[in-house]
Amino acid sequence: MPAKTKPKNASEPMHVCGNCGKQTPESKLAQITHGFWERVSPGEIMPSGECPRCGALCRPLVTATTRYEVVIKKLLSTVQATGGLLIYPDTTVAPGR
């Protein structure tokens, strides 16, 4: 029976190269070895490493956090629209009874 190709580690965070756009798993990222402060501007997302292909800076791929941010923004706008009351789908009103 032929051996299966190496299993893909789905839980490993992926990082995207700012130059070539390739995705690299965290374990394959190269260390940022030079010119960190020349290459990163204030307010920029912290780079996670260097692209093993072209040496440009990589940043984390869009993460679950971003999806939570969307939910939280939606939640906040809902709360504002209801004058500070949060009404759940089952019509429970927060803060609770």
As a whole number of angstroms, the distance between CA 81 and CA 75 comes to 10
Q: Out of 30, 45, 54, 62, which residue is the one contacting Zn ion (CB under 5 A)?
A: 54
Comparison of 16 and 79: residue with beta carbon closer to Zn ion: 16
Q: Out of 17, 48, 50, 57, which residue is the one contacting Zn ion (CB under 5 A)?
A: 17
Question: Of the listed pieces 10-18, 33-41, 72-80, 81-89, which binds Zn ion according to CB under 5 A?
Answer: 10-18
Asked if 30 is part of the footprint of Zn ion (rule: CB under 5 A), the reply reads no
Comparison of 56 and 79: residue with beta carbon closer to Zn ion: 56
Task: By CB under 5 A, name the binding residues for Zn ion.
Answer: 17, 19-20, 51, 53-54, 56
